[in-house]
A and B are shown apart, each in its own frame.
Chain A
């Protein structure tokens, strides 16, 4: 196998036991960082950032809306990537990551849609608009729901993981196509707040708290993912001796 270029930790992560211990060490760090960032970001965004000259204070929901929308998309990519790793290298842990990330991603998509609806009411005058980006977020939610439904419909864990990985990859190829076709179909929404290639259009006092919130969201949902993953590892490895030992020590 021509896999010598892969680092050692990549293969270590494939061991559920090692992964369980490794995430156990990461969790306190993630907890402290995420809570600090979320508290700073929320207070800064809600109390100290200047009000928008057109939308007034109603724009402040951006500090929840944009991070959840970005995370919903990047978690889908993470799910597809983990699924691909599981398919190619037959790594059980990657399958577990893909399974654990799906409900979190779906919840984030729902959060993005809800905050979008709440933001849309004062700005556009209605809770829902058939706008391109709202619609593509809705489609993303449908893709998540499809993945979750398929995973729960198949009884065998390995078959379920492989089938979902194929579906997630098909979805990944389709996401840009759906995004651009829908955008072309109808657009009302303001353009993306953060682009990698350009400076944001809003002043620094506005987007800095947003960046803090975004990193806070990444860490807090990374934390949620690790907690789910550890549960999943324990459930699937319940017959392994190290899990039995762990449980007897705890009991």
Chain B
């Protein structure tokens, strides 16, 4: 038996590829958050008011809240399948840093949820009469904000992975932590509509992302070890 040395970048790329392949094989999981996003947004004109002026005012916050909920909904599946078939345990036993494994899985997950939501968002924004000036603000704030949501959500997913009914619990754990991203994200869209400079909002969203990138995988790794051993 020859011992194969696996570099960290190789591990990262392999985990990332594997998760992408698995995601494409389970297309419903990929599409469900997007449909959820669409339905939640549709509920508001029906439930509150179809008035264009009112909807335009509501749109930045509503789109952000709906994107946040859709991300949250998709988080539960992040580690679930791997936990159930035992491959998560194998990943935890590997001598490679868990940090990179988690980062690769979250990145793959974000491409399927956050990035997809960002691409779909303008269509929904048009349906909500969001002024055209708000579009770049919406797209860029979602692009910078949704990875943070995925990274924080991964902590919640890791903490609840061993529980049979983790669905409601994960939202209880994660939603309060999403508040800063929501504030800066929806404010960026507001500012874009009124023509105010956007740099500050993107800087803050970027700072949150940097902080989450550095710390969230550590917490997720620790949480996974605790959940799997318990």
Contacts and interface: CB of A to CB of B under 8 A. Distances in A.
Given A149-B173, A156-B230, A178-B177, 9 more contacts: A146-B172, A150-B173, A153-B165, A154-B230, A166-B219, A177-B208, A177-B211, A178-B176, A182-B183
Nearest to B168: A149
Interface residues of B, number: 29
Interface of A: 87, 139, 142-143, 145-146, 149-150, 153-154, 156, 158-160, 162-163, 166-167, 169-171, 173-174, 177-178, 181-182, 184-185
A182 to B, nearest CB: 7
A6 B155 CA distance: 31
B163 A181 contact: no
Contact of B159 (A142, A150, A156, A158): A150
28 contacts: A139-B176, A139-B179, A142-B176, A143-B176, A145-B172, A149-B172, A153-B163, A153-B165, A154-B163, A159-B162, A159-B226, A162-B226, A163-B223, A163-B227, A163-B230, A166-B155, A166-B222, A170-B177, A171-B176, A173-B215, A177-B180, A177-B211, A178-B176, A178-B180, A181-B184, A181-B204, A182-B179, A184-B183
B175 interface: yes
Given A154-B230, A159-B227, A167 B173 contact: yes
B155 A170 contact: yes
A196 B86 CA distance: 52
Contact of B169 (A153, A171, A173): A153
Contacts of B222: 87, 166
Contact of A146 (B176, B183, B215, B223): B176
Nearest to A169: B219
Contacts, number: 78
A140 B215 CA distance: 21
Interface string B110-151: 000000000000000000000000000000000000000000
Interface of B: 155, 159-160, 162-163, 165-166, 169, 172-173, 175-177, 179-180, 183-184, 187, 204, 208, 211, 215, 219, 222-223, 226-227, 229-230
A154 B211 CA distance: 29
A173 B166 CA distance: 23
A162 to B, nearest CB: 4
A43 B229 CA distance: 54
B200 to A, nearest CB: 10
A182 B176 CA distance: 12
A173 B204 CA distance: 16
Nearest to B228: A159
B169 A142 contact: no
Contacts of A177: 180, 208, 211
A146 B175 CA distance: 10
Contacts of A156: 230
A241 to B, nearest CB: 27
Contact of B173 (A146, A160, A169, A185): A146
A181 B227 contact: no
Contacts of A162: 226, 230
Contacts of A170: 155, 177, 219
Nearest to A162: B226
Nearest to B187: A185
A171 B177 contact: yes
Contact of A166 (B162, B163, B223): B223
A156 B230 CA distance: 7
Interface centre among A139, A142, A146, A174 (most CB of B within 10 A): A146
Nearest to A185: B183
Contacts of B159: 150, 163, 166-167
B161 to A, nearest CB: 10
A179 to B, nearest CB: 9
A154 B226 CA distance: 11
B214 to A, nearest CB: 11
B72 to A, nearest CB: 13
B179 A181 contact: yes
List of 8 A-B pairs having minimum Cβ-Cβ separation, nearest first: A159-B230, A181-B180, A142-B176, A162-B226, A146-B173, A181-B183, A146-B172, A185-B183
A206 to B, nearest CB: 33
Nearest to A135: B179
